[in-house]
Amino acid sequence: MPTHRETILTALHTLLQQLPATALRGDVLPERVPAAGLLILRDGEPGEPEVTLSPLRYHYQHRAEIEAVVQSSDRDAAFDVLTASIGAAIAADRTLGGLCDWIEVEAPRPIDLPVEGAAALKAAVIAVVLHYTTADPLG
């Protein structure tokens, strides 16, 4: 049975898969970026939890990351569409169907990456903070 943390990350990945871009989890950047863009979900760090007693609960602000990459002749517009679609999908369900308390997304810091003999890439890491509570830090 998957842990609560894994269930939340799987649900976030499933949400990203509903977007037009290709959504991967924990993979390396492929040689070719799909026309609609590429998203790679990184599990990130759960960080130090706040702990409450009676009943014992661990309150996490887990920081996952989404690597967003586009490659096209109009990469600025494509990147804007891709990041806006991520924001809209998360805003539509900030609890992932009740699996977590809240999801916050931080603004991307895009960079342009030249590619020899091809259109440049525009990429950013988008931090996603997942707020959730568990009864066991390993569960």
What is the distance between the alpha carbons of residues 49 and 90, in angstroms, rounded to a whole number? Answer: 23
Q: Amino acid letter at 79?
A: F
For residue 127, the enclosing domain spans 4-134
We report the CATH number of the domain holding residue 46 as: 3.30.70.1700
Question: Above 90 in pLDDT, residue 115?
Answer: no
Q: Is residue 25 part of a domain?
A: yes
**Pairing mode of beta strands 38-45, 22-25:** parallel
pLDDT per residue over 21-78, tens digit each?
Answer: 999 999 998 888 999 999 999 999 999 999 999 999 999 999 999 999 999 889 999 9
> Global pTM?
0.94
Q: Is residue 126 part of a domain?
A: yes
What average pLDDT score do residues 110-139 get? Answer: 91
Q: Is residue 139 part of a domain?
A: no
Q: Is residue 22 part of a domain?
A: yes
Domain count, the chain: 1
Question: SS3 for 49?
Answer: coil
